[in-house]
Amino acid sequence: MNTSTEIELKIPEGVVVTDRALTPKAKQIFTTENLEVLAALHRKFQSDRKALLAERNKRQAAFDNGALPEYEDTNTEAASGNWIVNPIPEDLRRRRVEITGPVNSAKMVINMLSRNSDGYRADMAMLDFEDSMKPSWENVLDGVLNVQGASQGNLSWTDPSNPAKHYELDPKDMAGVMVRVRGLHLDEVNVTIDGEPVSGGIFDLWMTACTMVENQMKRGKTPKYYVPKCEHYLEARWWNNVFSEIEEILDVSPGTIKTTFLIETLTGAFQIEEILFELRERAAGLNVGRWDKIFSDIKVLKTHRGRIMEDRATINMHKYWMDNYAKRLIKICHSRGAFAIGGMSAFTPGKTEEARAEQTAKVVADKGYEAAIGHDGCWVSHPYFIGYALNEFKHDNQLSRTLDDFDKYPDILPNSKGDCTMKGLRTNVRVGIGYMQGWNQDIGCVAWDGLMEDLATLEISRAQTWQWLHHNTTLSCGTKVTKELIHTVFEEELEKILAEVDESLSGKNDALANKLKKEFTQAAADAEAAFVKDELDDFLSMASDPA
């Protein structure tokens, strides 16, 4: 299934690639054959995908009317049967630290896969088509090409403005390659099949797998994918069927492609064992996706007045419902022979030694706790913290720790008792402005106030502000949250950001300062509009941008 730029591209019947999308880069990726397979996958799986998305809407309607998520029947084969996942390949049995970032940046991909300035390297690197990447067409295509290069071990990049800055992989010393595809809900609008946009997840999966699987196997490596935002075991079954179909097309053995699913939705947390059961042929593990989980907690229970969530900055893994969810995942995964990967420390290195020391202490404490309760590894968002995180995980894995004394069915319903504060509202607004400025420039993750904000953390701020507004929440200072208050806070935080731009650039680069101020002003308007809608959108975006 190798791509070729020498063979004339014939678009299969029923497939439409928009004129603006059929770029030289697209022609470098597409072949008649791989577009035919894409069309076949769409035709086989799209109707079931639509049905699963409709079921999401039905469940949410029930939650909005007062229902709560519940555990599944405990007497099923999934919950009480004597099964384990297929053996985990040797090259996936040490995942102490995984670094994540957008797949579209060749420089970032190389840095994630390579050693940092202190000589530390992550065990695995998750190359992301989802929350850390804005799904512009150019970004998606760059991501496909970068996966090709990374899976071959020969990806390189030269800074066009400074050719002396050249980056390349060392194929003999690089982290394991993993790819996270887009979630079930996301459409890729630049390719339609029989008049419908193709699933973004199927597009990412097939357009990378058609080269990556062979590339990885030639190098003695296991093809490995991450799948996000699974809400139900039937969704896991759908994904497993897609993987199985691709394996058959590529003529590789069933279960060759390994997966780690992120358990990062409230409904998914109630179905951890059922999800893993559906994936037992190919599961390498599950992951505690803490940030999307917090977003999901708020979104699922958004109309429940008794479950209004406190400031996002105070919701951590020590809240009982978060701790129970993580331990439940560890217990189930290890009992079934799968890895249990911990969550993301979303720090970026501070500009001062004091700031870096404070951030490092938080990362060490966070990763130390994850290792202590039994996780096999964790995520970091920046190479700077790899060594510190590695030091907390003393063993290749902790599969033997099955948490025998922990109840498999703990209380994991959020029940926040902390304060909703003006500081928290200002944080949400400031994150909204900062993130939307990047999003509008086709950037999916933004270093902002010492943290790496991606789509998941933006979604927390958006959903939380909406929830506080919807319930006319009274903040700890006595002020009620209204549209007028939110508008005022947006104006005030924007003014601060514009002043920071002036302080940083005025007199040094006035053109850039003026450009950024216009961008932040537009970002503030866009973020405010998203935060105060009458009905909370399920996601900031449900589709890619047209080319």
Catalytic residues: 180, 454
Q: Which helix (H) or strand (E) holds 109?
A: helix 106-113
Strands 258-263 and 283-288: parallel
User: For residues 232 and 182, what is the distance between their CA atoms, to the nearest angstrom?
Assistant: 16
Q: Tokens 């699933």 identify what position? A: 199
Report the amino acid identity of residue 113.
L
In order of 288, 496, 498, 504, 505, the CA distances from 508 in angstroms are: 44, 19, 15, 8, 5
For the chain, what is the radius of gyration of the CA atoms? Answer: 23
Burial status of residue 369 (CB atoms within 10 A of its CB: 0-12, 13-18, 19 or more): middle
Yes or no: say if 476 and 421 are a contact pair by the CB < 8 Å rule.
yes
The set of long-range contacts for 398-403, using a CB threshold of 8 Å and a minimum separation of 24, is 398/334, 398/371, 398/374, 399/334, 399/337, 399/339, 400/334, 401/330, 401/334, 401/374, 402/331, 402/334, 402/335, 403/327, 403/330, 403/331, 403/334, 403/373, 403/374
User: For residues 442 and 444, what is the distance between their CA atoms, to the nearest angstrom?
Assistant: 6
List Cβ neighbours of 481 (8 Å cut-off, separation of 6 or more).
420, 425, 465, 468, 469, 472, 473, 474, 475
Tokens of 253: 């053995």
User: For residues 101 and 99, what is the distance between their CA atoms, to the nearest angstrom?
Assistant: 7
From the CB of residue 409, how many other CB atoms can be counted at a distance below 10 Å?
12
Backbone φ and ψ for 127, nearest 5 degrees, come out as -90, 120
Report the amino acid identity of residue 327.
K
Burial status of residue 417 (CB atoms within 10 A of its CB: 0-12, 13-18, 19 or more): exposed
User: For residues 542 and 440, what is the distance between their CA atoms, to the nearest angstrom?
Assistant: 16
Yes or no: say if 263 and 290 are a contact pair by the CB < 8 Å rule.
no
DSSP string, 285-318: EEEE-HHHHHHHHHHHTTT-GGG----GGG--TT
Yes or no: say if 239 and 265 are a contact pair by the CB < 8 Å rule.
no
User: For residues 123 and 103, what is the distance between their CA atoms, to the nearest angstrom?
Assistant: 17
Q: Tokens 């951030």 identify what position? A: 359
From the CB of residue 441, how many other CB atoms can be counted at a distance below 10 Å?
12
User: For residues 265 and 276, what is the distance between their CA atoms, to the nearest angstrom?
Assistant: 15
Backbone φ and ψ for 80, nearest 5 degrees, come out as -125, 0
